[in-house]
Amino acid sequence: MGARAAGRLWWGTVSCTLFLAVNGLYSASDDVIELTPTNFNKEVIQSDSLWLVEFYAPWCGHCQRLTPEWKKAATALKGVVKVGAVDADKHQSLGGQYGVRGFPTIKIFGANKNKAEDYQGGRTSDAIVDAALSALRSLVKDRLSGRSGGYSSGRQSRESGGGDKKDVIELTDDSFDKNVINSDDVWMVEFYAPWCGHCKNLEPEWAAAATEVKEQTKGKVKLAAVDATVNQMLASRYGIRGFPTIKIFQKGEDPVDYDGGRTRSDIVARALDLFSDNAPPPELLEIISEDVLKTTCDAHQLCIISVLPHILDTGASGRNSYLDVMLKMAEKYKKKMWGWLWTEASAQPDLESSLGIGGFGYPAMAAINARKMKFALLKGSFSEQGINEFLRELSVGRGSTAPVGGGAFPKIYTVEPWDGKDGELPVEDDIDLSDVDLDDWDKDEL
């Protein structure tokens, strides 16, 4: 072999070594199991084993220093606790899924694989092994006492129906039409194959989203799943060609494909959009009792309260024009799922005082966050444009706020609801002055 050829061979060997050093800290010969988005669900989430997983970046100095200790710990724990590593610089989506913000980040996946715990111990092999054995001891004790550590999508396959708390509705060829086609609710249906890796990755996100959507829409939007390898009539009817495929079903409309993100938050956001699109506008309620105020404000992130002029000042037509403006704004912002209330000037004086409205300047409007007991006041005109600008600022987190006076809702008086009519001045009693001698009265006064 010539010197030039030998030089090329030497440089090729060095290049390969440098390439491996830069692009990965672990190899197949190590006892550390390399994890990627492709195998993470199968290896970790669907496993009954305890896992310690390091999320690293090859260029990170702290990660490079941890590598020999991590390898030693993996060898010591072999057959007892699984030790893995994720190149989170290469697989950023996987790191992002578990909130990785710095390197190295170590997480412990115990009984509940959907709730990984952060490892906060030392970076030596001894410290890592001690922490692993401690976590393993806790896992075994939980099993002895009958605690499973919560729902895990791992071994609870869709074929076995998951767990009692699972809110994903399983559909079949026989049950689909009865549940979905004839329903007034909105359905998001995942068509999956049990062997599909992407489906397995989606499963915990779909399950978590199903629970959140059920709570936030009061069951009006449902998440379901169809095993398309078993229920082939459905798969054929809806042209399912790949997995997972998600379709949205609404009464009276053709199904449409869901093409959004595959995370819990993406799925929930789309479900809430569907819910608000199909929901009627919020009710506009008059504050006639404490129960009306508290029930509305406690059930919504914000409650929008208007204090309208007295009926004698506006008449029924004037009041209805103000209520129409509020109804239009409630329709416009119904996706926010706020509560909408109104009261007549001076009917709830303590409430006005706590909001700094104070007996003048009607109509007025305040937006109240009952959880924080803070409010913001409409500073512009009580018109569609003025209120829209006010609510738009609130919806993006801007606008000045102040604490509700007294730190809690004040006394609310029980009043009669408005009857929809013009107001009438109170009838004064007639006074008979025929028997009064005004001349004598004048003398007495003098």
Torsion of CA 168, 228, 196, 117, to 10 degrees: 0
CA–CA separation, 322 and 363 (whole Å): 8
Q: How far is CA 190 from CA 107, 202, 336, in A?
A: 30, 10, 27
CA–CA separation, 382 and 207 (whole Å): 44
303 is catalytic: no
- Residues with Cβ within 8 Å of 413's Cβ and at least 6 positions away in sequence, in order, are 347, 348, 350
Token digits of residue 78: 């072999």
Whether a cis peptide bond, with omega within 30° of 0, leads into 410 is: no
- The tokens 């490079």 sit on which residue? 64
Q: Characterize the bridge pairing of strands 33-35 and 82-87.
A: parallel
How deeply is 108 buried, as exposed, middle or buried, from its count of CB atoms within 10 A (0-12, 13-18, 19+)? buried
16 is catalytic: no
How deeply is 1 buried, as exposed, middle or buried, from its count of CB atoms within 10 A (0-12, 13-18, 19+)? exposed
Whether a cis peptide bond, with omega within 30° of 0, leads into 363 is: yes
CA–CA separation, 306 and 286 (whole Å): 9
Q: Which amino acid is at 267?
A: I
- Residues with Cβ within 8 Å of 409's Cβ and at least 6 positions away in sequence, in order, are 290, 293, 294, 297, 351, 354, 370
- Residues with Cβ within 8 Å of 388's Cβ and at least 6 positions away in sequence, in order, are 329, 332
User: Could you give the residue numbers annotated as active site?
Assistant: 60, 63, 196, 199
